[in-house]
Structure 1
Protein backbone atom coordinates (compact mmCIF):
# COMPACT_ATOMS: atom_id res chain seq x y z
CA UNK A 1 0.00 0.00 0.00
CA UNK A 2 1.26 3.51 -0.74
CA UNK A 3 2.52 5.40 2.30
CA UNK A 4 3.42 2.26 4.22
CA UNK A 5 6.92 1.59 5.43
CA UNK A 6 8.83 -0.99 7.42
CA UNK A 7 9.91 -0.20 10.96
CA UNK A 8 11.73 -2.36 13.48
CA UNK A 9 11.09 -1.81 17.17
CA UNK A 10 13.58 -3.41 19.55
CA UNK A 11 12.92 -3.80 23.25
CA UNK A 12 15.70 -5.03 25.50
CA UNK A 13 14.69 -6.40 28.90
CA UNK A 14 16.55 -7.85 31.88
CA UNK A 15 14.08 -10.48 32.96
CA UNK A 16 13.45 -14.08 33.87
CA UNK A 17 12.54 -16.42 31.00
CA UNK A 18 8.93 -16.48 32.25
CA UNK A 19 8.71 -12.67 32.34
CA UNK A 20 10.30 -12.45 28.88
CA UNK A 21 7.74 -14.91 27.48
CA UNK A 22 4.84 -13.07 29.16
CA UNK A 23 5.97 -9.66 27.89
CA UNK A 24 6.44 -11.06 24.38
CA UNK A 25 2.93 -12.53 24.43
CA UNK A 26 1.45 -9.25 25.67
CA UNK A 27 3.29 -7.37 22.90
CA UNK A 28 1.79 -9.86 20.45
CA UNK A 29 -1.68 -9.05 21.77
CA UNK A 30 -1.05 -5.32 21.25
CA UNK A 31 0.07 -6.00 17.67
CA UNK A 32 -2.90 -8.26 16.87
CA UNK A 33 -5.26 -5.62 18.23
CA UNK A 34 -3.60 -2.93 16.08
CA UNK A 35 -4.22 -4.95 12.93
CA UNK A 36 -0.85 -4.06 11.36
CA UNK A 37 1.24 -6.60 9.51
CA UNK A 38 4.04 -7.61 11.86
CA UNK A 39 6.64 -10.16 12.82
CA UNK A 40 7.54 -10.68 16.47
CA UNK A 41 10.54 -12.56 17.82
CA UNK A 42 12.26 -13.06 21.16
CA UNK A 43 16.03 -13.46 21.27
CA UNK A 44 17.49 -14.99 24.38
CA UNK A 45 20.67 -14.39 26.34
CA UNK A 46 24.07 -14.26 24.64
CA UNK A 47 22.55 -14.44 21.16
CA UNK A 48 23.36 -12.19 18.24
CA UNK A 49 20.21 -11.31 16.29
CA UNK A 50 20.24 -11.85 12.52
CA UNK A 51 21.93 -9.04 10.63
CA UNK A 52 23.60 -7.55 13.72
CA UNK A 53 27.22 -7.51 14.83
CA UNK A 54 26.78 -7.44 18.60
CA UNK A 55 25.30 -9.92 21.04
CA UNK A 56 22.26 -8.54 22.87
CA UNK A 57 24.23 -8.74 26.13
CA UNK A 58 26.53 -6.07 24.68
CA UNK A 59 23.74 -3.92 23.23
CA UNK A 60 21.84 -3.77 26.53
CA UNK A 61 24.76 -4.10 28.96
CA UNK A 62 23.36 -1.33 31.19
CA UNK A 63 20.20 -3.27 32.10
CA UNK A 64 21.73 -5.76 34.59
CA UNK A 65 23.52 -2.85 36.28
CA UNK A 66 20.23 -0.97 36.63
CA UNK A 67 18.72 -4.02 38.32
CA UNK A 68 21.74 -4.43 40.65
CA UNK A 69 21.50 -0.77 41.71
CA UNK A 70 17.85 -1.29 42.66
CA UNK A 71 18.51 -4.65 44.39
CA UNK A 72 22.07 -4.38 45.77
CA UNK A 73 22.04 -7.51 47.92
CA UNK A 74 19.72 -9.66 45.82
CA UNK A 75 20.64 -12.58 43.60
CA UNK A 76 19.43 -11.95 40.03
CA UNK A 77 18.37 -15.59 39.79
CA UNK A 78 17.45 -16.57 36.25
CA UNK A 79 17.35 -13.00 34.93
CA UNK A 80 19.14 -12.45 31.64
CA UNK A 81 19.03 -9.94 28.84
CA UNK A 82 16.44 -10.70 26.16
CA UNK A 83 15.45 -8.72 23.10
CA UNK A 84 11.98 -8.51 21.60
CA UNK A 85 12.21 -7.54 17.92
CA UNK A 86 9.13 -6.37 16.08
CA UNK A 87 8.94 -5.69 12.37
CA UNK A 88 5.95 -3.51 11.46
CA UNK A 89 4.34 -2.31 8.27
CA UNK A 90 2.61 0.98 9.05
CA UNK A 91 1.76 4.34 7.66
CA UNK A 92 4.25 6.74 9.26
CA UNK A 93 1.82 8.39 11.75
CA UNK A 94 0.78 4.97 13.11
CA UNK A 95 4.29 3.94 14.18
CA UNK A 96 4.65 6.10 17.30
CA UNK A 97 1.35 5.09 18.98
CA UNK A 98 2.07 1.41 18.35
CA UNK A 99 5.62 1.74 19.69
CA UNK A 100 4.26 3.55 22.76
CA UNK A 101 1.64 0.84 23.34
CA UNK A 102 4.36 -1.82 23.14
CA UNK A 103 6.55 -0.10 25.74
CA UNK A 104 3.52 0.36 28.03
CA UNK A 105 3.37 -3.44 28.25
CA UNK A 106 6.55 -3.19 30.34
CA UNK A 107 5.92 0.21 31.91
CA UNK A 108 2.18 0.92 32.11
CA UNK A 109 2.74 4.27 33.84
CA UNK A 110 5.66 6.15 32.25
CA UNK A 111 5.29 8.94 34.83
CA UNK A 112 5.89 6.71 37.89
CA UNK A 113 8.58 7.89 40.28
CA UNK A 114 10.48 4.68 40.90
CA UNK A 115 12.47 2.53 38.46
CA UNK A 116 10.57 -0.13 36.54
CA UNK A 117 10.60 -3.59 38.15
CA UNK A 118 12.00 -5.01 34.89
CA UNK A 119 14.77 -2.82 33.47
CA UNK A 120 14.20 -2.16 29.77
CA UNK A 121 15.32 -0.07 26.84
CA UNK A 122 13.76 0.44 23.43
CA UNK A 123 14.65 1.79 20.04
CA UNK A 124 13.09 1.91 16.60
CA UNK A 125 14.40 2.49 13.13
CA UNK A 126 13.48 2.03 9.53
CA UNK A 127 13.75 -1.67 8.72
CA UNK A 128 15.28 -3.20 5.63
CA UNK A 129 13.30 -5.21 3.14
CA UNK A 130 15.80 -8.05 3.43
CA UNK A 131 14.52 -9.05 6.88
CA UNK A 132 10.90 -7.82 6.82
CA UNK A 133 10.07 -7.38 3.12
CA UNK A 134 7.77 -10.40 3.22
CA UNK A 135 5.40 -8.36 5.43
CA UNK A 136 4.74 -5.97 2.52
CA UNK A 137 3.23 -8.79 0.45
CA UNK A 138 0.39 -9.52 2.88
Structure 2
Protein backbone atom coordinates (compact mmCIF):
# COMPACT_ATOMS: atom_id res chain seq x y z
CA UNK A 1 0.00 0.00 0.00
CA UNK A 2 1.33 3.42 -0.92
CA UNK A 3 1.25 6.56 1.23
CA UNK A 4 0.80 8.70 -1.88
CA UNK A 5 -2.52 10.38 -2.59
CA UNK A 6 -4.26 9.31 -5.79
CA UNK A 7 -3.89 12.46 -7.88
CA UNK A 8 -6.04 11.03 -10.68
CA UNK A 9 -9.15 11.55 -8.56
CA UNK A 10 -11.44 14.32 -9.81
CA UNK A 11 -12.88 14.94 -6.34
CA UNK A 12 -11.81 18.18 -4.72
CA UNK A 13 -9.58 17.76 -1.72
CA UNK A 14 -7.74 19.97 0.72
CA UNK A 15 -4.12 20.54 -0.28
CA UNK A 16 -1.52 22.29 1.81
CA UNK A 17 1.43 23.84 0.02
CA UNK A 18 4.08 25.21 2.36
CA UNK A 19 7.47 26.73 1.91
CA UNK A 20 9.82 28.62 4.14
CA UNK A 21 11.71 31.73 3.13
CA UNK A 22 14.38 33.62 5.06
CA UNK A 23 14.08 37.30 4.13
CA UNK A 24 13.34 40.77 5.42
CA UNK A 25 9.85 42.23 5.96
CA UNK A 26 9.74 44.15 2.66
CA UNK A 27 10.78 41.09 0.66
CA UNK A 28 8.23 38.97 2.52
CA UNK A 29 5.42 41.44 1.83
CA UNK A 30 6.30 41.52 -1.88
CA UNK A 31 6.40 37.72 -2.01
CA UNK A 32 3.04 37.42 -0.23
CA UNK A 33 1.52 39.95 -2.64
CA UNK A 34 2.76 37.96 -5.64
CA UNK A 35 1.50 34.66 -4.21
CA UNK A 36 -1.85 36.27 -3.46
CA UNK A 37 -2.22 37.24 -7.12
CA UNK A 38 -1.42 33.67 -8.18
CA UNK A 39 -4.07 32.25 -5.86
CA UNK A 40 -6.62 35.02 -6.13
CA UNK A 41 -6.33 37.03 -9.35
CA UNK A 42 -9.01 39.53 -8.23
CA UNK A 43 -7.77 40.99 -4.92
CA UNK A 44 -10.64 43.52 -4.88
CA UNK A 45 -13.42 40.91 -4.79
CA UNK A 46 -15.98 40.84 -1.99
CA UNK A 47 -15.05 38.73 1.03
CA UNK A 48 -14.70 35.88 1.72
CA UNK A 49 -12.09 34.82 -0.78
CA UNK A 50 -13.26 31.92 -2.97
CA UNK A 51 -9.77 30.42 -2.60
CA UNK A 52 -8.92 30.60 1.12
CA UNK A 53 -5.22 31.01 1.85
CA UNK A 54 -3.00 32.27 4.63
CA UNK A 55 0.55 33.26 5.43
CA UNK A 56 2.54 33.42 8.65
CA UNK A 57 5.92 34.57 9.86
CA UNK A 58 8.10 33.84 12.85
CA UNK A 59 11.28 35.36 14.21
CA UNK A 60 14.35 33.14 14.20
CA UNK A 61 13.96 32.65 17.96
CA UNK A 62 10.35 31.42 17.86
CA UNK A 63 9.83 27.76 18.76
CA UNK A 64 7.40 27.37 15.88
CA UNK A 65 10.09 28.42 13.41
CA UNK A 66 12.36 25.72 14.82
CA UNK A 67 9.57 23.13 14.57
CA UNK A 68 8.43 24.05 11.05
CA UNK A 69 11.71 24.96 9.34
CA UNK A 70 14.75 23.53 11.13
CA UNK A 71 16.68 23.29 7.86
CA UNK A 72 16.29 27.01 7.16
CA UNK A 73 17.39 27.91 10.69
CA UNK A 74 20.44 25.68 10.31
CA UNK A 75 21.32 27.35 7.01
CA UNK A 76 20.98 30.80 8.61
CA UNK A 77 23.31 29.69 11.42
CA UNK A 78 25.83 28.40 8.86
CA UNK A 79 25.75 31.59 6.78
CA UNK A 80 25.41 34.20 9.55
CA UNK A 81 26.73 32.51 12.70
CA UNK A 82 24.81 31.85 15.91
CA UNK A 83 22.39 34.49 17.10
CA UNK A 84 22.52 35.53 20.71
CA UNK A 85 19.29 34.73 22.51
CA UNK A 86 17.89 36.77 25.39
CA UNK A 87 18.96 35.34 28.74
CA UNK A 88 16.21 34.27 31.15
CA UNK A 89 16.69 35.69 34.61
3-state SS in 1 of match to 2:73: helix
Task: State the TM-score, normalizing by the size of structure 2.
Answer: 0.52
Flag the structure with higher strand content: 1
Structure 2 unpaired stretches of 5+: 1-6, 59-64, 80-89
TM-score (normalised: structure 1): 0.36
- Give structure 1 regions of 4+ aligned residues with deviation exceeding 4 angstroms: 114-117
Aligned length: 63
**What 5-or-longer segments of structure 1 have no aligned partner?**
1-16, 19-76
Q: Is the 8 A contact 1:103 1:122 kept in 2?
A: no
Question: Greater RCO between the two (CA within 8 Å, min separation 6)?
Answer: 1
Q: Aligned partners of 1:108, 1:90: CA distance in 2, in Å?
A: 24
- RMSD across aligned positions (CA): 2.9
What is the CA–CA distance in structure 2 between the aligned matches of 1:83 and 1:105, rounded to whole Å?
15
Of 72, 77, 82 in structure 2, the residue corresponding to residue 132 of structure 1 is 72
